[in-house]
Every structure is written in C-alpha cells, then in structure tokens.
Amino acid sequence: MGTSRLALTMWDVDDRTVRVPDGRPGIVVFASATNCGSCVSGTRLARDVIQRVAPQAQLVVVMVDSATGRGDITAFARSVGPSPARYVLDDRNGRLVSMLSASALGGAVVYDALGRIVARLDAGAPQLLAALRGAQR
C-alpha cells in the first residue's frame, strides 16, 4: 500500500478531540447520515471486525456531507447500534474525504498504530478482517 501515513486531529460531534492515529490501529469509515444503507452496513461491519479481532482498535466514522446535523448523526448511530465509533463531521466540504482518498460511501481506510495506511476498501469488503489483522503487526 506504500508509505501513506495519517496524522489528523479532528473533533467528534461531542467536541472531543479525535487523533488518527492515536497509538493503536483503526478503521475510518466514510458515511452519509441519511439514506445510505451501505454506510450503516459498512459501519456495522467495521464495528464487528474490531470487536472480533482488535477490541482496542479505533473506529472513526466521517460524515461526508457538511450539511449533516447532530440529529442526523444521532439517528445514524442508533441505526448502527452499540459501537465504540467516534462520529466526525467533514465540515470542510470534503477535506477529510480528499485527504483519506475515500473511494465510496461505506468504504473504509485501515491504518496501523503509526498511522500507516494498510488498506483502502469498498463498502462491506470481506478483506476488512484481514486488513485489520495486518494493521496489528
């Protein structure tokens, strides 16, 4: 995957600082809070993979539409179900999506504890499990 590295500081919808990486591997999922079934399923898949393989891993969900409101994000989180996800709004009209080279809604970027990107995957990709395992090495 090359030597692409993440070094981002963002704020979640509760105005708490989110650093990627934060010293542990993780997954960033790209989502739209309204009418995006692949976003909900992609976030659930990431949550389930983390719980199965690396419970300490970070899960960040980037809402790609800057017009998304707090209520939309709350409804989305409720649709996903219990999750350690931190929800971040891409409030700069695609800055995060561009920086992370998002390929599709519901898609994901997997990174290791040093922020090296180990995989960019489409929504629901079965390779997510293997990618997170690889990120732990």
The predicted structure's pLDDT at residue 46: 96
| Residue that wins the pLDDT comparison between 2 and 122 | 122
Indicate the pLDDT class of residue 87, thresholds 50, 70 and 90.
very high
| Residue that wins the pLDDT comparison between 91 and 74 | 74
d(CA 62, CA 130): 22
Residue 137 DSSP code: -
The predicted structure's pLDDT at residue 90: 82
User: For a pLDDT cut of 70, what percent of the chain falls above it?
Assistant: 96
The predicted structure's pLDDT at residue 124: 80
User: For a pLDDT cut of 90, what percent of the chain falls above it?
Assistant: 67
At 123, give phi and psi (nearest 5°): -55, 130
The CA–CA distances, whole Å, from 9 to 17, 20, 88, 90, 92 equal: 7, 7, 11, 12, 13
114-120 LR contacts (CB < 8 Å, sep 24+): 114/5, 114/21, 115/5, 115/6, 115/7, 115/20, 115/21, 116/1, 116/3, 116/4, 116/5, 116/6, 117/1, 117/2, 117/4, 117/5, 117/6, 118/1, 119/1, 120/1
- pLDDT tens figures, 33-75: 988 999 999 999 999 999 999 999 999 999 998 889 999 999 9
The pair of structure tokens assigned to 107 is 């898609």
- pLDDT tens figures, 16-30: 999 999 999 999 999
Q: Where are the alpha helices (DSSP H) in 64-122?
A: 70-80, 95-99
